Amino acid sequence: MGEAGKGAVMETSIDHLLVEKLSDPRTMEQLIHLLDKLENVTFLLDMLENFLQRGPEFADSINELVVLLRQSISRPEYVTRFENALTALHKMQEFLDSPQVQELIKSDVLDVRSVQVIGKVSRSLYQASKEAAETGTKRVGIIGLMRTLSDPEVQPALNFVLNFARNLSKEISDA
């Protein structure tokens, strides 16, 4: 009976400690937070379980890759390719670290708006070149030029060129 009595007293004290711990406001707050995240925790545990179940499959794949790499390294053409790739990466890093590229990155040349304008200009240049090749060289006199300058399709480009000239002049004088 002594052993049974000890078990009952021990169980009562554990129950009392558990109730006391659960009554603590910090513990209640943490439990509520945990319950709010329970769905995420369950999802994470499911993913971890699936990952661990596939462990042997991952190990086999890694082992096959190591065997394949060992076989490939012994071939001289792969060693040469690897050395060439490393040399290319080193040269690319030197290029990217150069002061010229760093200055280019700081400038507005790579700004999205600049790239869009350059794209429009290059498409226009290509189209104009194509049309000039198709129609051949036409002589335009002063009256034809004046008529073209008042053409509504030419006006936006003319305004662009004039604004560009004005802003370029400001940039040059500021430099």
The confidence score (pLDDT) of residue 5 equals 54
Can you tell me the distance from the alpha carbon of 124 to that of 156, in angstroms, rounded to the nearest whole number?
13
* Those residues with Cβ within 8 angstroms of residue 95's Cβ, 6 or more apart along the chain or in another chain: 101
Q: CA–CA separation, 128 vs 134, rounded Å?
A: 10
Are 104 and 110 spatial neighbours (Cβ–Cβ below 8 Å)?
Answer: yes
Q: Summarize the confidence of residues 67-95 as an average pLDDT.
A: 85
Displacement of CA 123 from its chain's centroid (Å)? 27
Tokens standing for 65?
Answer: 């890759």
pLDDT band at 123 (very low <50, low <70, confident <90, very high): very high
- Round to whole Å and give the CA distance between 163 and 158: 9
Alpha-carbon distances, residue 168 vs 17, 109, 146 (angstroms): 80, 14, 25
- Token pair listed for 138: 């036409």
Q: Are residues 143 and 134 in contact, defined by beta-carbon separation less than 8 angstroms?
A: no
Three-state secondary structure string covering 137-168: CCCCCHHHHHHHHCCCCCHHHHHHHHHHHHHH
pLDDT of the residue at 108:
81
Query: What does the pLDDT look like over 23-68, one tens digit per residue?
Result: 888 988 988 888 888 888 888 888 888 888 888 898 899 999 888 8
